[in-house]
């Protein structure tokens, strides 16, 4: 079977022909780079991912992690792959070089991550989770904390985690019971228990740095009284040397449906009353700080969905081209007709095309949001920077939940393409289904993301941010209408965007009225609608770019590639968006059945 992760030509198209990443080098922030250097970094990562990381995917699933007396051992092959990633300095590409980064644009960094995340997402947690921990310290930490932790976190010499969840609190972090008490030396004594901690303990690094949510003794109840602390597994002295064990103990690991290579740990802090931490930022401001890390994590989880979908699609495509079974439809009555590759069967082509439109659309969306971070960095005014930041905020729950859900559905479709073999462990797609399902659950379930979109993001800045999104879609539609071959698609998308706007306005109004419960019962369908219409925008934009490229393309292979993008957009707008219209009609109907159902009625 071909070792495929992502379509190189497709990534190049999004980077350079859709989003113009090569023009980033004109900005002062990125003037040390060139398109050639971007391509070299991506090519090296692709080689590493295909030859060294992807082969570990099955190892992680079959070997899992082994827990024994507080220690966690991961699959043997993970060690070599992780060391090669660190050696290639691929752990914190967009960060400041003085802290171990390379100062790359976020957009290029995401193209690099595309290969690594798809090749083995379980492994990536042991490599990249320290980045979010480091980013919080860089933004909110003292100079001492930066000196102690930042470089080792960004270079992944040390691991990082997120200690939020507790057994009784779940997603309601305001109900946590982990406590903190100030000590005479200025550090804090931490006591409590956390669950579902990814990479909370493992044998691939000498130290793991835990950001821990806790309540200082006497602080207000609920989320208003939560602070955040940096708690090392091994204490770090002021001279950066390692001290004693810090009473942070893994007490068990979870047996999971998938992602077996990732250690999901239960952690006990201060069971011997010897756990210490550093306060990060101000007291009682922990959630604000943690949400910065959470938003980064949510975008990466959405990326998990889209990148895993890419891997599943390419496996299915390769199989469909090789698997010979059944006659071509036109030869069904000819007993002498040869069997053909299943990619010639219309229903298989339908499945593959459905997968492709979502893979290409999700990748375009994720890369687009990544490019907004670079635009924010290059913004000329604080007002422009704030506008871009709000657009990122609006699209974050969409990327997280929509790409997680559609990514899972693409993987399920891949199993169908393989048929019975897809349901066996002989082929990799059944593992991908199990592995990617968690993306819809952790870092806030799809329902929580939907509530965030409806309750917070839709009305952000009095609705101006959402209107700005519609305006961007409108600009693409107006431009596409000027191209004869795309005018019909532009008209269809325009109707979808207009209905989308009406749906959002009606639902947003209902969410602030007496029918708010019914409105929030429709929040998740609305998030799906938002994702569907946004991907429609992506596809029309892609089709416009491909049409312009066709005008100068001379090679037959290039012409076929660009025509494929246009055909893909046609499929999406003509077959996927009509289903979305039905969903919009459902949301506009604002049925109250879900909230009217009496408990006894559920059975």
Query: Would you say 206 and 234 are in contact if contact means Cβ atoms under 8 Å apart?
Result: yes
H, E, C per residue of 505-568: HHHHHHHCCCCHHHHHHCHHHHHHHHHHHHHHHHHHHHHHHHHHHHCCCCCHHHHHHHHHHHHH
443 is catalytic: yes
Tokens at residue 563, please? 């025509």
Q: What is the C-alpha separation between 323 and 418, in angstroms, rounded?
A: 9
Q: What is the C-alpha separation between 328 and 339, in angstroms, rounded?
A: 7
Tokens at residue 530, please? 């938002």
| C-alpha 544, offset from chain centre | 26
Determine the length of the chain: 603
Q: What is the C-alpha separation between 361 and 187, in angstroms, rounded?
A: 48
H/E stretch holding 401 reads helix 382-418
Task: Give the Cβ contact number of residue 443 at 10 Å.
Answer: 26
Q: What is the C-alpha separation between 452 and 446, in angstroms, rounded?
A: 10
Q: What is the C-alpha separation between 93 and 116, in angstroms, rounded?
A: 13
Catalytic residue among 443, 471, 574, 598: 443
Q: What is the C-alpha separation between 504 and 467, in angstroms, rounded?
A: 10
Q: What is the C-alpha separation between 411 and 313, in angstroms, rounded?
A: 7
Helix (H, G, I), strand (E, B) or coil at 91: coil
Helix (H, G, I), strand (E, B) or coil at 324: strand
Query: Which residues are annotated as catalytic?
Result: 443
């Amino acid at each position: 079977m071909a070792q495929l992760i992502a379509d190189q030509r497709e990534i190049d198209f999004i980077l350079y022909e859709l989003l113009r990443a090569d023009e980033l080098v004109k900005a002062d922030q990125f003037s040390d780079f060139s398109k050639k250097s971007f391509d070299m970094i991506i090519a090296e990562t692709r080689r590493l991912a295909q030859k060294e990381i992807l082969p570990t995917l099955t190892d992680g699933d079959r070997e899992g992690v082994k827990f024994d007396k507080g220690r966690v051992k991961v699959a043997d092959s993970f060690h070599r792959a992780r060391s090669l990633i660190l050696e290639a300095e691929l752990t914190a590409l967009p960060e400041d070089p003085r802290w171990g980064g390379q100062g790359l644009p976020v957009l290029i960094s995401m193209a690099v991550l595309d290969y690594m995340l798809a090749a083995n997402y379980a492994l990536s947690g042991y490599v990249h989770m320290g980045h979010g921990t480091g980013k919080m310290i860089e933004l909110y930490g003292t100079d001492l904390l930066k000196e102690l932790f930042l470089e080792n976190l960004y270079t992944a010499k040390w691991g990082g985690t997120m200690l939020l969840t507790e057994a009784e609190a779940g997603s309601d972090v305001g109900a946590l019971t982990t406590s903190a008490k100030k000590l005479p030396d200025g550090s804090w004594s931490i006591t409590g228990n956390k669950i579902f901690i990814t990479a909370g303990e493992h044998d691939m690094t000498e130290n793991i740095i835990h950001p821990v949510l806790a309540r200082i003794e006497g602080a207000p109840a609920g989320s208003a009284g939560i602070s955040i602390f940096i708690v090392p597994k091994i204490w770090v002295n002021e001279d950066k040397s390692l001290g004693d064990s810090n009473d942070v103990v893994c007490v068990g690991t979870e047996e999971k449906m998938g992602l077996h290579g990732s250690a999901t740990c239960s952690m006990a802090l201060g069971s011997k009353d010897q756990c210490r931490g550093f306060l990060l930022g101000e007291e009682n401001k922990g959630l604000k700080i943690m949400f910065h890390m959470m938003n980064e994590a949510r975008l990466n989880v959405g990326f998990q969905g889209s990148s895993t979908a890419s891997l599943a699609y390419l496996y299915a495509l390769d199989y469909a081209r090789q698997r010979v079974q059944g006659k071509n439809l036109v030869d069904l009555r000819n007993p002498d007709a040869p069997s053909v590759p299943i990619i010639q069967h219309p229903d298989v082509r339908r499945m593959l095309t459905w997968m492709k439109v979502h893979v290409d659309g999700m990748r375009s969306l994720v890369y687009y949001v990544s490019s907004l971070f670079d635009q924010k960095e290059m913004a000329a005014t604080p007002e422009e920077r704030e506008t871009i930041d709000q657009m990122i905020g609006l699209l974050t729950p969409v990327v997280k939940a929509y790409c997680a859900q559609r990514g899972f559905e693409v993987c399920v479709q891949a199993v169908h393409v393989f048929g019975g073999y897809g349901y066996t462990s002989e082929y990799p797609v059944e593992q991908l289904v199990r592995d990617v399902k968690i993306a819809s659950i952790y870092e806030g379930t799809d329902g929580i993301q939907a509530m965030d979109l409806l309750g917070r993001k839709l009305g952000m800045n009095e609705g101006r941010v959402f209107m700005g999104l519609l305006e961007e879609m409108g600009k693409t539609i107006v431009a596409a209408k000027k191209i004869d071959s795309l005018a019909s698609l532009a008209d269809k998308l325009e109707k979808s965007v207009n209905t989308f706007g009406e749906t959002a306005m009606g639902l947003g109004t209902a969410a602030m009225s007496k029918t708010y419960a019914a409105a929030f019962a429709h929040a998740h369908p609305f998030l799906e609608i938002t994702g569907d219409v946004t991907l429609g925008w992506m596809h029309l934009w892609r089709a416009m770019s491909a049409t312009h490229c066709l005008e100068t393309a001379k090679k037959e292979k290039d012409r076929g590639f660009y025509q494929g993008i246009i055909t893909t957009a046609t499929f999406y707008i003509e077959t996927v968006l009509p289903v979305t219209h039905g969903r919009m009609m459902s949301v506009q109907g604002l049925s109250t059945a879900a909230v009217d159902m009496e408990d006894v009625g559920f059975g």
